[in-house]
Every structure is written in structure tokens, then in C-alpha cells.
Amino acid sequence: MKKQVLLASAILASSFAIAQKSELRDAEKALDKGSSAEAKSTLESISSTIETADDKYKDEYYFLLGKTYVDLAKKSGSDADYEKAVNSFNQLIEFEKSYKTKYTDEAKEILNGLSGDIVNAAVEDNKNENFAGAAKKLHMAYEMTDNQDYLYFAASSAVNGGDLDTALEYYEKLNELEYTGESTAYMAVNKETGETENLGSEQNRDLMVKTGEYTDPSEEETESRYPEIIKNIALIYNEKGETEKAAEAIKDAREANPEDINLLLTEANMYIKMGDKAKFQSLMEEAIQKDPNNPTLYYNLGVITAEQGNKEQAKKYYEKALELDPENENVYLNMASLILSDERAMVDEMNGLGNSAADNKRYDELKGQREELYRSAVPYLEKLLTINPDNIDAVRTLMNIYGTLGEQAKFKEMKDKLATLEQ
């Protein structure tokens, strides 16, 4: 009786093997003729028996399944198809570690090409504002290649999609990996456009220069992404209401990189987001000590100091910013706005005066002070228009000032210019 059972089992196993071999051949033929849907259906029909199949059929099954889902993914762009393709090839590679290596090299080659397809699909997802899909694909590409740039961009996509928990997970991993994203950019000037372009690699840059299409080869070190990563970790913790973790993330990063001014600015930005303007100001002043010729630092300090009501100090910061960067539109506009901020109190007092001799005298005094205020703001606005003639805020403000001062020719000039800009 036992012999009969064994014989029956042997016959059964043999018939399974024949069926699996036949189905695998059919799936391969379907793939060869471009019918991945048919191949998928065929492979699914033996999926429940593959775990008990002979090893020689398992690796072929995983390999064909991976190729099937690659083709399906390219046609559909489906995240699930990409994932199944990757999982199938990974199963194959893992299986062949303890079996003879037959398909591993080809599978790795396909995976390498697939990672590029996945990244391209993620780029399209980002363009179409499918940020969740982009984040998922980029993370998949990272797991396939260990390319940390993909993890960084996956985190950025997650942020854009509002998935802060996923973004935080990815940023924390980047921090753990001590990722900076720093690299060398190989630049050259395009002779046709005159623009300096990043040509990807030193070899490609040198080749393009040899063709004569590019000149003036150069190299630039890209800026570290580490401060941005720490900033985003802190901001996400802050958004989640975990301010202690936010502060701790910045503190740890700064202790490890005490001379990194970008991390200092990251901490300052975190505190301004938290509404702690005093802490922001002290950090910005510390930043100025480290980088005294940075106009942006003085500009930001001017903004915060003005908001805190210290107008005279804010003016000093703005003047220093202009000394270092005399072409900065925002500084000119903010300086004019700061000067004109005193106008409201004057107008309110003028409107509240009566008709007595004392009131009339006070009215004339305030009118003169107001006109002087206008005249002190005009040079900043006029200078701004030499930098950007189409700055509509400057044009509108000057039009109102010239009208109040009775300078009709300049008033008309600004009025006509405003009409043109508003068309």
C-alpha cells in the first residue's frame, strides 16, 4: 500500500513538473510576441504550485515574472507593476544565491535599466502633481540602486504631496546616512547660446569642448543639501507639534558642524517659523559675525527689526544691505515702505484737528513733515526703477507721492506707466 502511494505521488509530481515546464514555455513565447498580459495570466496559473516546484523551474519562473511586470509597468506606469517587477527579480537573485547562478546577471542588468524608467516615471508624476506616486517610485529606485539622491528627491516629493510622515522617515534616513549630495559639476559655455551648462561628467564635458560646440571648461562643487535636510526635519517636527525634537535636530547638527553658516541660518529659519523673532534675531546677528559681507543677512535682520518696531536700527541694516548689494530691489522697496510707515500717524492726527489757529498751525507743521517724509522715500523708489523699470509697486507709490507733492509732470509720467503695466 505504501508503495502504491509513493508511486502515485511520484506520478503526481511528474505531471506538475510537466505542466510547469509547459506553462513557463508558453509565458516565454507570450513575452517574445509582446503579450505581457497573456504571460501574466499564464504565470498566475502556476503561482500556487511554484513553491513546491523543482528548483530549476523556480528561478525561471521568477525571472519570467519579473520580465512580465517590467513590460506591464512600462505600458501602464503602475506603481504596483513596478513593485512586482522589482520584487520578482529580488526573489530570483536571493534564490540563486543558494542555487546555481543562471539569471542573476541579466536580472541585475534589467533592474539597472528599470531604475532609470522608474525615475523617469517619477519625473512625470511630479510634473502632473502626483507627488505620492513620485515619492513611491523614487524610493523604489533608491532601494534598487542605493543611490541616495533618489531618497532625497523622494523626500522632497513626499513634502510636496503633504505626506509629512513619509518625508520625515526619508529625511531621518538621509541624516543617518550623513548624506550631503555634494558633487562636482562639470561646466562649459555653449558657444551658440553663451550660457554655461552642466554637461554631467568630466568625460562628456571634455568631449563637447573638443567638438568646438563648447568652450571655457570649468568645475564647480555643488552646495551641500545637509542643512536643508536638517531644516526640513526640524520644520516637520514643528508642524507636528513636536518642537523639542525640532530643536534637538538643529542642535545636534550644529554641534557636529559648528562653522556651517547654512546650518545656523537653518536654525534661524526654524525659529522664525515658530514665531520666536527674538531668537531669530540673535541667530542672525551671530551669522553676521561669521559672514559680515552677506547682504541677505542684513536684509533679513532689517525685516525682523522693523517688525519689532525698531525702525532706526532696521534702516541701518537696510543701508548696509544696499552697500553690499546696491541692485537689490527688495531692500529699496522695504526702505521706502519703512520711511512711509510714519505717514499713517501723521494723517490720523491731521484728520483729527479742528479749525482753531493752533490746530491750523499744527496742520501745516504735519503737512510739511509729511512732504519731507515723501521726499526722503523718493530716492529709494527712483533708484529701484532704474534697476527694474516695471516694478509696479514702486510706480504706483511714486505716482501717489508726486501727486501729493504737486509735481504734475512726474505724476503724469508714473500714471501713464502704471496704466501700461496694468494692461
pLDDT tens-digit profile of 283-312?
888 888 888 999 988 898 888 888 878 899
Nearest residue to 82 (alpha-carbon basis) of 33, 139, 35: 139
Query: For 379-404, what is the mean pLDDT?
Result: 93
Which range, 99-108, 261-270, 407-416, has the best average confidence (pLDDT)? 407-416
CATH 1.25.40 fits domain 327-423: yes
Q: Which amino acid is at 91?
A: Q
Query: For 410-415, what is the mean pLDDT?
Result: 94
d(CA 59, CA 102): 8
**pLDDT greater than 90 at residue 161:** yes
Query: For 235-261, what is the mean pLDDT?
Result: 81
Mean pLDDT is lowest, of 17-21, 102-106, 410-414, for 17-21
Contact 187, 217 (CB under 8 A): yes
- CA angle 374/375/378 to nearest 5° reads 85
Say whether 327-423 and 13-147 share the same fold. Answer: yes
**pLDDT greater than 50 at residue 60:** yes
d(CA 34, CA 71): 8
Per-residue pLDDT at 301: 83
Query: For 178-199, what is the mean pLDDT?
Result: 90
Helix (H) or strand (E) holding 196: strand 196-198
Share of the chain above pLDDT 70, in %: 95
d(CA 411, CA 418): 10
Mean pLDDT is lowest, of 116-120, 197-201, 268-272, 367-371, for 268-272
Q: Is the pTM of this model over 0.75?
A: no
Phi, psi angle pair for 251, to nearest 5°: -60, -45
Q: What Å distances lie between residue 171 and 158, 186, 246, 252, CA to CA?
A: 10, 28, 13, 15
Per-residue pLDDT at 19: 62
Phi, psi angle pair for 198, to nearest 5°: -85, 115
Residue 190 forms beta bridges with which residues?
A: 214
**Radius of gyration of the chain measured on its C-alpha atoms:** 34
Share of the chain above pLDDT 90, in %: 39
Mean pLDDT of the chain: 85
Per-residue pLDDT at 13: 44
Which range, 70-84, 107-121, 144-158, has the best average confidence (pLDDT)? 144-158
d(CA 204, CA 26): 44
d(CA 279, CA 350): 38
> What are the sequence ranges of the domains in the chain?
13-147, 184-221, 327-423
Q: What Å distances lie between residue 40 and 78, 236, 359, 371, CA to CA?
A: 15, 42, 92, 81
**pLDDT greater than 80 at residue 49:** no
Give CATH for domain 13-147: 1.25.40
Query: For 29-55, what is the mean pLDDT?
Result: 79
Q: Is 98 helix (H, G, I), strand (E, B) or coil?
A: coil
| Long-range CB contacts (within 8 A, 24+) of 271-274 | 272/304, 273/235, 273/238, 274/238, 274/243, 274/246
**pLDDT greater than 90 at residue 399:** yes
